Structures are given as structure tokens and as C-alpha cells.
Amino acid sequence: MTLLSSRPPQPVEPGLLSRALEVAGRLANDATDVITATAGRGAHPDTKDSPFDWVTDTDRILERHTRRVLAAEFPGIPVVGEEFGADHGADIAEYRWVVDPVDGTANYVAGVPWCAYSLALIDASGPVVGVVADPYRAQIYAAARGRGARANGKPIKLMDRPSPAGAIVCTELTRTGPWPGMGEFIQRAAAAHAGVRVLGSAALSIAQVALGHATAAVLHSYSEWDVAGSVALAIEAGAVVLDRHGEDTALPADGVLVATPSVADEVLSWWQETAALL
């Protein structure tokens, strides 16, 4: 479903942007309350494809709540969610919502304070509005096309740096474990004096770039609902978003690099070179 044109993006009616931001922010606050009240306390997990691919009562409850609110506020705009799939016509609609109710569910189940709620409105150019709740840090990150990105209402703008040396680069495992070439990628980062972190939430990994905590994030594979909200943040904060071939694409079909502009080419070369070794 990730068939998106390159930027510059198409304009969006201002009223829709404002309403979408307001409603998404309310839903993110609701999710924060639920996640912080229940994390690590009898989450009743079921597994999907692997023992660490969890789904919990909280995932289902939050996605149902999100769908009910969005259906009432934006009738006719379909929803795509991790737990309950895509509404009819989502693949051809002008706009669609995508939601991951708990990104980092294994962390949530264990009580590790690193998971997120992610919600985004998407059109053919990419994210229109994105909201990511970071419950354990009591932060709501929000962005809208052309309006910048904010953390708890305060504007954020990533700080570019000339080199990855001394910086953090985030990545994530795939559903089945390390991605092909991941070890070599980490070695290349270490040789450039950068530290690689695998923390367990794709949404928060990308958000760290927007917030200036990391200089890049590489996801070898992902689901749209995992990252659309945080990609909106990154774009509005000034980050570069590339596919594995170096093309400027908001939500590429086969892996994504999000980086500060000055280091994007170097980190991309690590990713491309490790893939070439396989």
C-alpha cells in the first residue's frame, strides 16, 4: 500500500489539517493514559509470528477506540491499523489514517519504558498529519504538513551536524531477528565513531532524529503504521527521508533512512555497502 510520489507534496485544505491535528492529539493523550496505567501489569499477551511479536488487550482496545473516534470525526476517510487491518477502499482513497496502538509491544509487556502510540493521516505524497505519543516521557510529538513539528506544543527543529562521529544511529530488528547485513552496518558505524542503538520501537527511533537525539535511523523493513507518524515529525523538523537507493521518498516500500542532512549520504553508504556484501 506504500505507493507514494516524491515530494514536493500536494497542498491540503487548512481546515482538515487543523481538525486532524486536534483529533489526533486527543487520541494520543487517551493512549498515553491507557499505556501508562497498564504497562507491565497483566497485559495478557498473545503471540503472532514469533514469541516477541506480541499483541495485547491494550493494542485492541486502543485501536478500537481510535477507529470509533475517527469514524465519527472523519466519516469517509478509511483507517488502516495493525490489529484490525484496512477498511474497504483504503488503498484507493484520497486520504487514509494509519494507526499503531502500541509500537514496541514487547517492551510494553515487560514494563520497559520505551513504546509509543502512532497515528498519521496520509495522502498520495506521504504523511499529512502525524502524532506520536511517548507515554513514559509524558510527551506528545505532533506535526502537520507545512506547519512544523512540536513536542508538547513547543516547536522542534533538528540540529544538523557535519559528521556521525560521536552521534547515535538507531535501527531495529525485523520480526525474525537481525536484518541481512546488520552486523556489518554496526561495524561501519563503529568505524566512523558512531553508536548504534536498537531500542524496540520504530516510531520512537525515527522520532529521535526529529528531536535531535540521534543523527540517523535506518529501518531495513517496516510497516506503514509503525513509522508514518514519526516520518511526519522528521520531515517537518528538517530531516532527510530516503529509500535504500537514495531516492527522496516519504514512505518507501522497502526500508527507510531518516537522517540529518549532512550525514545522510554517509549513513546511506553504510546501508548500501552492507547490502552489496550479501
Q: What's the pLDDT score for residue 51?
A: 47
Largest CA distance in the chain: 52
Specify the pTM: 0.91
Tell me what pLDDT residue 159 has: 84
Q: What single letter denotes the amino acid at residue 57?
A: D
Please indicate if the annotation marks 82 as binding a ligand: yes
Amino acid at 218: V
Which residues make Cβ contacts (< 8 Å) with residue 243, sequence separation at least 6?
249, 252, 253, 254, 255, 256, 257
Listed residue (216, 182, 222) closest to 202, CA to CA: 222
Is 160 marked as a binding-site residue?
Answer: no
248 is in an annotated binding site: no
Q: How many CB atoms lie within 10 A of CB 29?
A: 14
Common-topology check for domains 14-156 and 168-276: no
Amino acid found at 129: V
Q: Dihedral angle at the C-alpha atoms of 158, 231, 180, 175, nearest 10 degrees?
A: 130
User: How many C-beta atoms lie closer than 10 Å to residue 102's C-beta?
Assistant: 33
CATH topology of domain 14-156: Fructose-1,6-Bisphosphatase; Chain A, domain 1 (3.30.540)
Which residue from 201, 217, 220, 131 is spatially nearest to 168, judged by alpha carbons? 217
- Going residue by residue through the chain (278 aa), what tens digit of pLDDT does each one get? 333 434 567 889 999 999 999 999 999 999 999 999 988 764 555 655 544 455 578 999 999 999 999 999 999 999 999 899 999 999 999 999 999 999 999 899 888 999 999 999 999 999 999 999 999 999 999 999 999 999 999 999 888 889 999 999 999 999 889 999 999 999 999 999 999 999 999 999 999 999 999 999 999 999 999 999 999 999 999 999 999 999 998 899 889 999 999 999 999 999 999 877 66
Rounded Cα–Cα distance for residues 157 and 105 (Å): 28
- Residue 14: cis peptide before it, omega within 30 degrees of 0: no
Length of the chain: 278
Residue 224 C-alpha cell reads as 506503514
pLDDT of residue 96: 98
- The domain limits of the chain are 14-156, 168-276
Domain 168-276 listed as CATH 3.30.70.270: no
Check the annotation: does 53 bind a ligand.
no
